[in-house]
Amino acid sequence: MRYFRYSLLFAFGIGLTLVGLTFIIYFQLHRGSDPTLIKVTFSLIGLGVPLAVLGIAGMFGYVKYSKVTGISGFILCILAILSFLSLYPERWIYPNISLVATAYALGLILVLGGLFAEVVQKIVESRMTEVKTAKTAEVNLEEIDRGFIEPVKIPEPEITIKDVNVKVEFSRPIERIGKVVKVKDNVDYDANILSRVREGKLEVRVKDEEISEISKILKSMEERMKKD
């Protein structure tokens, strides 16, 4: 309904303007033409132009901010046209001509200015919306990229050793006469640990590198004991 109303207003304004221009061409109006014909002609044009502008603003939805300025400008144009009809031709002299022309021009500026301001406002709002949408899309893409690129932490494999038969033979200590060297070690503690592992009472979780290190230590201990 809104589009129909404003499109009808636009068509009516364009029609009045075209009729006025047709009168000018057809009757070849000039300063000495019939005053009544001049009044009708310029009244049609003066009324049709602001009506067409208001119709354009309404059809495109530019009435949120420019409605007040548009209506104010249109009323000012009407007052200027009425003043022209009352003053022409007897009192159509300076300064009446300047006052009426200024009032009509100001009214037309308000109508056109309101439409221009509304168009600029719409463009700014659409640009701001596009910028916000673009920023939101960038943030979403960054989150998606993080979700795909973020490395997955894979736990290091653990090797469980159960029922390991560890046999360590300790040779009897050889008594030597002479210089006695005391070496502090944890043989008893290590033997106890190995015994518990052998009996299955202790579960050892080690990595491959640690298994190799333990094997080296056991071989070293066995070689030392054989030498002693």
Structural domain includes residue 154:
no
Q: Is the pLDDT of residue 216 over 90?
A: no
Q: Are residues 12 and 120 in the same domain?
A: yes
The Cα 77–Cα 71 span in angstroms is 10
Q: Are residues 88 and 144 in the same domain?
A: yes
pLDDT single digits (tens) 150-197? 555 555 545 454 444 444 444 444 444 455 545 455 556 666 666 666
The Cα 90–Cα 68 span in angstroms is 35
Contacts of 205 (CB under 8 A, 6+ apart): 158, 159, 160, 161
Structural domain includes residue 111:
yes
Q: E-strand spans in 51-208?
A: 159-161, 204-206
pLDDT single digits (tens) 54-103? 888 888 877 776 678 888 999 999 999 999 999 998 999 989 999 999 99
Identify which of 110-114, 122-126, 133-137, 186-190 has the greatest average pLDDT: 110-114
* In contact, 42 and 87? CB cutoff 8 Å: no
Q: Is the pLDDT of residue 13 over 80?
A: yes
Q: Are residues 7 and 112 in the same domain?
A: yes
Structural domain includes residue 18:
yes
Structural domain tally of the chain?
2
Q: What is the pTM of this model?
A: 0.55
Structural domain includes residue 181:
yes
Q: E-strand spans in the chain?
A: 159-161, 204-206
**pLDDT attached to residue 167:** 47
Structural domain includes residue 35:
yes
**pLDDT attached to residue 164:** 45
**pLDDT attached to residue 146:** 58
Q: Are residues 132 and 113 in the same domain?
A: yes
Q: Are residues 39 and 127 in the same domain?
A: yes
**pLDDT attached to residue 169:** 46
Choosing from 115, 148, 181, the residue where a domain stops is 148
Structural domain includes residue 196:
yes
Q: Are residues 62 and 165 in the same domain?
A: no
Q: Are residues 106 and 195 in the same domain?
A: no
- Lowest mean pLDDT, pick from 2-6, 23-27, 91-95: 2-6
- Lowest mean pLDDT, pick from 34-38, 83-87, 132-136, 172-176: 172-176
Q: Are residues 190 and 91 in the same domain?
A: no
Choosing from 148, 181, 211, the residue where a domain stops is 148
Structural domain includes residue 179:
yes
The Cα 59–Cα 10 span in angstroms is 9
**pLDDT attached to residue 206:** 54
Q: Are residues 41 and 65 in the same domain?
A: yes
Structural domain includes residue 217:
yes
Q: Are residues 136 and 209 in the same domain?
A: no
Q: Are residues 143 and 165 in the same domain?
A: no
Q: Is the pLDDT of residue 52 over 50?
A: yes
Cα end-to-end span (Å), the chain: 112
Choosing from 105, 129, 148, the residue where a domain stops is 148
Mean pLDDT computed over 95-120 = 90
Full residue range of the structural domain in which residue 97 is found? 2-148
Q: Are residues 204 and 124 in the same domain?
A: no
